[in-house]
């Protein structure tokens, strides 16, 4: 499958979810009852970027309860075969490429260097598509809801973000470099999430926005509510929140006022066929930034 076809497939899936669920659009890559993110069974490598979305949507659609994936060759080398009639999921492998011009040089006579990203697709199969393979049950330590909340609170605290509770809106203001949130008790349960899941999903969304500040990752470009840059940043923030909610053990639920952004998200994605790949790369970068703050905090302690 060509890279262009994969991008189109993901874009169509995202737009379909947004249109189907309207203002209550639930991100499937955060709501599945599966621990952690999709990973390669044999290397242990966790898939990142847009591949998280591709594999999570595939697992959601097909009802897989396992996050183990690998190529047909990986499975065959381990002594297993793909079940008859099963179809692969195509994901992307990206790497930076440098090429030197054979005809053009710079002012000092050195060949001009061109930098670009090379995207290639390859096929993987879920463990549930493999004949005779017994899926290992993940070994998890069950922790109480209170302990889980304390873990997330500590994660957020370690970032050093300035967070103010009160009022009826959730937002990050670059002018003051602050996150503003309603009080936790203002959040209510919905048909798909608890009040606590709604609260932390919203808080992590704003924390991803916080990473885009000029003194951090310098990512935020949107000038007007609803313009393409604004819509793109919302996609980065919500995808980052969904991934973080999985990593931290909570289930994401889009906050109520996301309905205001749905149309601009659709417009932004349609105007830029590479928006999904770019957004997921940036949200993964934001999460890496937050994770590095955890390490720095532990070193100081």
Domain membership of residue 75 (yes or no) is yes
Given a cut of 60, whether residue 28 has pLDDT beyond it is no
Given a cut of 70, whether residue 34 has pLDDT beyond it is no
Q: Could you tell me if 69 and 124 are in contact, meaning their C-beta atoms sit under 8 angstroms apart?
A: yes
7 C-beta neighbours (distance < 10 Å), count: 19
Same domain, 222 and 280: yes
Given a cut of 80, whether residue 273 has pLDDT beyond it is no
* Separation of alpha carbons 128 and 65, rounded Å: 8
Given 80, 96, 131, which residue is the final one in a domain?
131
**pLDDT band with cut points at 50, 70 and 90 for residue 142:** very low
Domain membership of residue 139 (yes or no) is no
Given a cut of 90, whether residue 243 has pLDDT beyond it is no
* pLDDT for 144: 35
Given 107, 131, 155, which residue is the final one in a domain?
131
Quick: pLDDT tens for 189-230: 776 667 777 788 889 999 999 999 999 999 987 666 667 788
Domain membership of residue 204 (yes or no) is yes
Same domain, 270 and 167: yes
Domain membership of residue 264 (yes or no) is yes
Domain membership of residue 78 (yes or no) is yes
* pLDDT for 202: 87
The number of residues making up the chain comes to: 301
* pLDDT for 264: 52
* pLDDT for 244: 81
* pLDDT for 68: 93
Q: Could you tell me if 238 and 224 are in contact, meaning their C-beta atoms sit under 8 angstroms apart?
A: no
* pLDDT for 261: 40
Same domain, 91 and 211: no
Cα torsion through 253, 256, 257, 258, rounded to 10: 30
Given 131, 160, 188, which residue is the final one in a domain?
131
Same domain, 126 and 173: no
Question: What is the 3-class SS of the chain, one letter each residue?
Answer: CCHHHHHHHHHHHHHHHHHHHHHHCCCHHHHCCCCCCCEECCCCCECCCHHHHHHHHHHHHHCCCCCEEECHHHHHHCCCEECCCCCCEEEEEEEEEEEEEEEEECCCCCEEEEEEEEEEEEEEEEHHHEECCCCCCCCCCCCCHHHHHHHHHHHHHHHCCCEEECCCCCEEECCCCEEEECCHHHCCCCCCCCHHHHHHHHHHHHHHHHHCCCCCCCCCCCCCCCCHHHHHHHHHHHHHHHHHHHHCCCCCCCCHHHHHHHHHHHHHHHHCCCHHHHHHHHHHHHHHHHHHHHHHHHHHC
Distances from the Cα of 46 to the Cα of 43, 82, 117, 125, 152, angstroms:
9, 21, 20, 15, 21
Same domain, 127 and 216: no
Given a cut of 70, whether residue 251 has pLDDT beyond it is no
Task: Give the number of domains in the chain.
Answer: 2
89 C-beta neighbours (distance < 10 Å), count: 22
* Separation of alpha carbons 76 and 162, rounded Å: 51
Q: Which of 11-20, 50-59, 108-117, 236-245 has the highest mean pLDDT?
A: 50-59
* Separation of alpha carbons 48 and 51, rounded Å: 6
Domain membership of residue 13 (yes or no) is no
Its pTM stands at 0.62
Quick: pLDDT tens for 106-122: 777 788 777 766 778 88
Same domain, 151 and 88: no
* Separation of alpha carbons 6 and 91, rounded Å: 7
Q: Which residue has the higher pLDDT, 132 or 96?
A: 132
* pLDDT for 79: 95
| Domain around 90 | 36-131
Same domain, 122 and 261: no
Pairing mode of beta strands 81-82, 130-131 = antiparallel
Same domain, 177 and 293: yes
């Amino acid at each position: 499958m060509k890279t262009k076809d994969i991008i189109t497939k993901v874009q169509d899936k995202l737009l379909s979810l947004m249109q189907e669920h309207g203002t209550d659009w639930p991100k499937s890559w955060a709501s599945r009852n599966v621990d952690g993110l999709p990973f390669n069974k044999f290397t242990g490598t966790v898939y990142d970027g847009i591949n998280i979305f591709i594999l999570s949507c595939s697992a959601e659609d097909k009802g897989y309860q396992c996050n183990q994936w690998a190529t047909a060759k990986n499975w065959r080398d381990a002594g297993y075969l793909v079940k008859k009639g099963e179809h692969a999921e195509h994901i992307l492998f990206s790497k930076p490429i440098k090429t030197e011009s054979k005809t053009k040089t710079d002012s000092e006579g050195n060949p001009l260097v061109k930098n670009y990203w090379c995207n290639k697709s390859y096929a993987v199969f879920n463990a549930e598509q493999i004949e005779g393979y017994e899926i290992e049950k993940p070994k998890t330590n069950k922790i109480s809801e209170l302990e889980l909340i304390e873990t997330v609170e500590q994660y957020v605290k370690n970032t050093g973000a300035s967070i103010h509770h009160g009022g009826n809106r959730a937002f990050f203001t670059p002018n003051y470099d602050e996150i503003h949130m309603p009080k936790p008790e203002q959040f209510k349960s919905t048909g798909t999430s608890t009040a606590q899941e709604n609260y932390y999903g919203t808080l992590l969304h704003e924390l991803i926005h916080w990473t885009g500040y000029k003194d951090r990752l310098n990512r935020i470009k949107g000038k007007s509510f609803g313009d393409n840059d604004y819509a793109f940043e919302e996609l980065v923030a919500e995808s980052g929140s969904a991934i973080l909610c999985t990593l931290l053990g909570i289930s994401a639920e889009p906050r109520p006022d996301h309905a205001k952004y749905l149309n601009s998200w659709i417009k932004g994605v349609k105007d830029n066929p590479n928006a999904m790949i770019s957004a997921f790369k940036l949200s993964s970068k934001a999460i890496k930034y937050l994770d590095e703050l955890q390490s720095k905090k532990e070193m100081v302690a």
